[in-house]
Each structure stands twice: as structure tokens, then as C-alpha cells.
């Protein structure tokens, strides 16, 4: 028998069961943001004794909502300057690119960053029911409509006045228990897909490293490269330092050029083509550097992560980047793979200097003296074409897995919405 429904009065919520109420979140939960810690203070919060973990937005998984508690940062239980999100509360990101997208349910007491908002449920609302309500489009539609500011955010005052449907406590428990079981299965399936993606990425990196250091002929005679992290290379290959095939450019911005971004996994892309690009472009791009097709672009602060690539596009990049041009004839796609292969990451890291990881900086004088493996031009072409083909196949496999994850995430969202608005009756 279908239960009686009524109009909620809110378009994106639609009908709710007749015995449910529509009420503002502030009547069902205490809401407060956490505390920020500046970079130069972070070293003061590493002691684990009598402390609780400090959670940042990055410590919450966007797909499965799991929280990483082993963050390396801890707040003393005696420090009253930090707010605590108690066990069984919800943490939602309310500012920046992850606003409304990252949410976690605490399994222990934690301190948390100011971009996260804690929802501590009151007696009329079960903690787990609130957690699922915050993931529903019935809440998120209102949340995103309230967003404002350059980097995008929603104030706690606005959140407190968002309406959500609330069933009787007994039904809240049924819904929460049902979603716990169903979402656990969905999250496990998502995790399995993610693990496959990571293995594919590892295989891709190993393939690139092996090919740009050993070539395509398994029977070729080898010699010692003289480079510790490379080992043996084909006997007819040469070693060249970066300064022997690259030259730094200093051409500044030209009118009406596209802003480019450098991704660790993708290389150089047109910034406007990516929805996930939240880097802020300066209002004055006069000092941005001009990039031509086949130029090498280097993010000197993230080279140690693999942020170095040959550009397929013309445009401009931040003044903080190095832009280089080739001084000898090369097959640029080979150089693209060569510069980005994982064998060089430890060397990029070793040469980068700074107080902490986020401030590491690779000096150009250090970069230009890094030695690289150089096969003949014809072999560069063969290797690049081989890697293009193999990497495209791997990328297609990764894309299929990512599409599966997207479908699972959409199903999870739909299931949660149906349950917390009463459109699906849980036995």
C-alpha cells in the first residue's frame, strides 16, 4: 500500500510523506566551522600524546566519504583554542573547490580546518540521518544556490536556514541503517575500481620509464649510463644535460592568449577546458609567460611531483613557471615522456629546496644540469609513437573505470535522495 504524501513546498524536494516535517537545519543540529593553522605553525602540531587528529579537506575522500585520521597533525586535548567535532558528527566542506562535495562521518573526536563545517545532531535528529541528508540533492541544491565569493563558499548562517525533511526518529534509524548497508556496498565497488585505476597508472609509469631508458629492442647491448637512478642504457645512446638541448625563454604575455595549466597526470592543458581547475588567474596577466607549441613548461614548485611537460598548445602560464625551447632537433613527444618519467622524480625532489613540501622550489641552474638519456632521432620517434599508442590504450581503460565510478556515485546520490525525502519507503 502506497503511503500518503504531501507537497513539501520546495521544488527540488518535491513530495514528502504526510507524517514527516520540513524544518530548518538549525533546529536539528549545532553547526560550526573549525580552525585554520598557518604553514609556519604546522610543525608545532605533530605530537600524538593526549591529542586528537587534525582533519583538512584533503583528508576526506570525495567518492566514499572516508576520513583519513593519520594526517601527521594532532591537537593537544588541553588546547582549548581548537574546536572539536565529536565522534558521530558530520564534517562538510563549505568553501573552495570541494564545497558541498566532500563530507565525512567522524568515527572519533577530531579537530578540523576552518573550511570544514561540523554538524552535531540534536535530540530530534539522528547523527547518521543528518549525515545522509547533507549528501542529498534536497540539501545540496539549496547549498549551491547560496554559494558566493571568488573561491565559492556558503556561510554557516545560510546553512542553518536550509530546510530538510525530517521523519520520526524510528524511521530515521531505519533509513540510516538501510543506507549504511547499501552505501557500504557501493563504496566497496568504487574502491575496487579506484584500485584498478591506480594499478593501471602504475603500469603506465613503469612502461614509460622502461621504454625511455632501455628502448624497444630487448636484445640490444647495454652500457652503464653513469646515472645512478637510470642504470644501464643501450650502447648507442648518449647522455645529455638539459642545458644541451633546452634554453629558458622569457617572452611575456601576448594579447588574447589562452591561459594554460600544467597537470601532473595530464601535462599542459587549456585552463578553461577543465571544470576541476580551481587555480586563480591574476587579474593582471601582463607578466605571464608566453608558451608556443612544443615548448617545455615546468612548474618549479611541483616538478618533484611530475609537473613538467611539452605543451601541445600556444598560450600563457604563470610567471612562477619556467618556459623552455629546444636548441637541437628532437622528437618532442619523446622528450615529453623522458622529462616526466618516474625515474627522475627522486632527483627532482632532491634538487628542490624549501622550508616545507608546499614551498619546495627547483632552481633552473640545478635543472639545467640534470642528465637525460638520448637515443638517435629516428629511435626517439619510434619510442614516442609506441608510447602514444600504449598510453592511449591504458588511458582508455582508466576512462572506462572512471565512468563506472561516476555511475556508481550517481546511483548512490539518487538512492540517498529517494530515502531522505521519503519517496522510497524503507522497511
What is the per-residue pLDDT across 7-29, written as a single tens digit (0 to 9) for each? 999 999 999 999 999 999 999 99
43 and 163 assigned to the same domain: yes
CATH label of the domain that carries residue 70: 3.90.220.20
221 and 137 assigned to the same domain: no
Let me know if residue 147 belongs to a domain. yes
Q: How many residues does the chain have?
A: 427
pLDDT for residue 281: 56
CA distance 111 to 91: 10
279 and 415 assigned to the same domain: no
CA distance 79 to 138: 37
Let me know if residue 331 belongs to a domain. yes
107 and 222 assigned to the same domain: no
114 and 20 assigned to the same domain: yes
Residue 18: domain span:
5-189+406-420
CA distance 427 to 94: 33
Q: What is the mean pLDDT of residues 406-414?
A: 95
Let me know if residue 348 belongs to a domain. yes
Let me know if residue 427 belongs to a domain. no
Q: Is the pLDDT of residue 279 over 60?
A: no
Let me know if residue 277 belongs to a domain. yes
pLDDT for residue 277: 47
Nearest to 212 by CA among 192, 193, 229: 229
DSSP, residue by residue, 341-372: -GGGHHHHHHHEE-SSGGG-EE-HHHHTT-EE
Q: Is the pLDDT of residue 254 over 80?
A: no
310 and 238 assigned to the same domain: yes
Q: Is the pLDDT of residue 349 over 50?
A: yes
Segments of 265-351 assigned E as strands: 267-270, 289-291, 296-299, 308-310, 315-317, 321-326
Let me know if residue 231 belongs to a domain. yes
> ∠ CA(236), CA(242), CA(243), 5° rounding?
115
Contacts of 278 (CB under 8 A, 6+ apart): 96, 97, 151
Q: What is the mean pLDDT of residues 129-157?
A: 94
Q: Do residues 94 and 144 make contact, with C-beta atoms less than 8 angstroms apart?
A: no
Distances (CA, A) of 24 to 7, 19, 108, 165: 17, 17, 27, 9
DSSP, residue by residue, 222-242: EEE-S-TTT-EEETT-EEEEG
Higher-confidence residue of 355 and 63: namely 63
Q: Do residues 89 and 5 make contact, with C-beta atoms less than 8 angstroms apart?
A: no
CA distance 104 to 13: 23
pLDDT for residue 78: 87
Cα pseudo-dihedral 265, 270, 275, 280, rounded to 10: 100
Compute the 3-state secondary structure of the chain and give helix, strand, coil in percent, each to the nearest 5.
Answer: 35, 25, 40
Q: What is the mean pLDDT of residues 411-419?
A: 96
Q: Is the pLDDT of residue 229 over 90?
A: no
Summarize pLDDT for 280-315 with one digit per residue, the tens.
556 667 888 999 999 999 999 888 888 999 999 999
10 and 83 assigned to the same domain: yes
CA distance 370 to 368: 6
Let me know if residue 384 belongs to a domain. no
Q: What is the mean pLDDT of residues 40-62?
A: 89
315 and 410 assigned to the same domain: no
Q: Do residues 113 and 34 make contact, with C-beta atoms less than 8 angstroms apart?
A: yes
Quick one: cell of 107? 568515527
CA distance 187 to 201: 21
Summarize pLDDT for 391-402 with one digit per residue, the tens.
999 999 999 999
**pTM, full prediction:** 0.81
pLDDT for residue 355: 56
Query: Domain total for the chain?
Result: 2
pLDDT for residue 1: 53
Q: Do residues 99 and 150 make contact, with C-beta atoms less than 8 angstroms apart?
A: no
20 and 82 assigned to the same domain: yes
68 and 168 assigned to the same domain: yes
278: confidence class by pLDDT, cuts 50, 70, 90: very low
Write out the H or E segment, with its range, that includes residue 111.
strand 110-112
300 and 159 assigned to the same domain: no
178 and 31 assigned to the same domain: yes
Q: What is the mean pLDDT of residues 310-323?
A: 91
3-class SS of residue 218: coil
Q: Provide the mean pLDDT of the chain.
A: 91
Q: Is the pLDDT of residue 165 over 60?
A: yes
Q: Strand 29-33 and strand 84-85: pairing?
A: unpaired
Percent of the chain with pLDDT over 70: 95
Let me know if residue 58 belongs to a domain. yes
Amino acid at each position: 500500500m502506497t503511503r500518503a504524501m504531501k507537497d513539501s513546498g520546495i521544488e527540488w524536494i518535491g513530495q514528502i510523506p504526510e507524517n514527516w516535517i520540513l524544518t530548518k537545519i538549525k533546529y536539528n543540529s549545532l553547526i560550526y566551522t573549525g580552525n585554520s593553522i598557518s604553514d609556519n605553525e604546522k610543525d608545532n602540531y605533530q605530537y600524538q600524546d593526549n591529542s586528537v587528529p587534525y582533519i583538512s579537506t584533503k583528508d576526506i575522500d570525495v567518492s566514499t566519504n572516508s576520513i583519513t585520521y593519520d594526517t601527521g597533525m594532532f591537537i593537544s586535548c588541553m588546547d582549548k583554542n581548537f574546536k572539536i567535532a565529536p565522534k558521530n558528527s558530520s564534517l562538510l566542506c563549505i568553501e573552495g573547490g570541494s564545497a558541498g562535495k566532500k563530507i565525512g562521518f567522524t568515527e572519533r573526536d577530531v579537530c578540523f580546518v576552518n573550511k570544514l563545517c561540523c554538524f552535531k545532531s540534536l535530540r530530534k535528529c539522528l547523527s547518521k540521518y543528518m549525515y545522509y541528508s547533507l549528501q542529498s540533492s534536497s540539501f545540496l541544491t539549496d547549498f549551491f544556490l547560496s554559494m558566493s565569493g571568488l573561491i565559492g563558499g556558503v556561510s554557516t548562517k545560510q546553512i542553518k536556514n536550509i530546510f530538510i525533511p525530517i521523519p520520526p526518529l524510528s524511521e530515521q534509524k531505519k533509513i540510516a541503517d538501510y543506507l549504511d548497508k547499501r552505501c557500504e556496498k557501493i563504496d566497496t565497488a568504487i574502491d575496487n575500481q579506484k584500485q584498478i585505476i591506480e594499478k593501471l597508472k602504475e603500469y603506465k609509469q613503469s612502461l614509460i620509464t622502461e621504454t625511455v631508458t632501455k628502448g624497444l629492442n630487448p636484445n640490444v647491448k647495454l652500457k652503464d649510463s653513469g646515472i645512478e637512478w637510470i642504470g644501464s642504457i643501450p650502447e648507442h645512446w648518449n647522455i645529455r644535460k638539459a642545458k644541451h638541448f633546452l634554453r629558458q625563454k622569457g617572452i611575456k604575455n601576448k594579447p588574447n592568449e589562452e591561459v594554460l595549466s600544467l597537470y601532473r597526470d595530464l601535462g599542459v592543458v587549456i585552463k578553461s577546458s577543465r571544470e576541476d581547475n580551481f587555480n586563480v588567474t591574476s587579474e593582471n596577466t601582463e607578466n605571464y609567460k608566453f608558451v608556443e607549441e612544443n615548448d617545455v613548461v615546468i612548474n618549479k614548485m611541483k616538478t618533484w611531483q611530475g609537473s613538467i611537460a611539452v605543451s601541445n598548445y600556444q598560450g600563457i602560464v604563470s610567471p612562477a613557471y619556467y618556459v623552455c625551447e629546444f636548441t637541437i632537433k628532437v622528437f618532442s613527444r619523446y622528450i615529453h615522456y623522458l622529462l616526466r618519467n618516474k625515474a627522475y622524480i627522486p632527483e627532482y625532489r632532491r634538487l628542490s629546496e624549501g622550508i616545507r613540501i608546499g614551498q619546495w622550489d627547483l632552481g633552473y641552474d640545478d635543472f639545467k644540469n640534470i642528465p637525460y638519456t638520448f637515443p638517435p632521432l629516428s629511435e626517439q620517434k619510434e619510442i614516442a609513437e609506441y608510447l602514444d599508442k600504449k598510453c592511449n590504450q591504458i588511458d582508455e581503460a582508466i576512462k572506462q573505470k572512471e565512468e563506472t565510478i561516476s555511475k556508481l556515485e550517481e546511483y548512490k546520490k539518487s538512492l540517498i535522495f529517494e530515502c531522505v525525502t521519503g519517496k522510497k519507503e524503507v522497511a
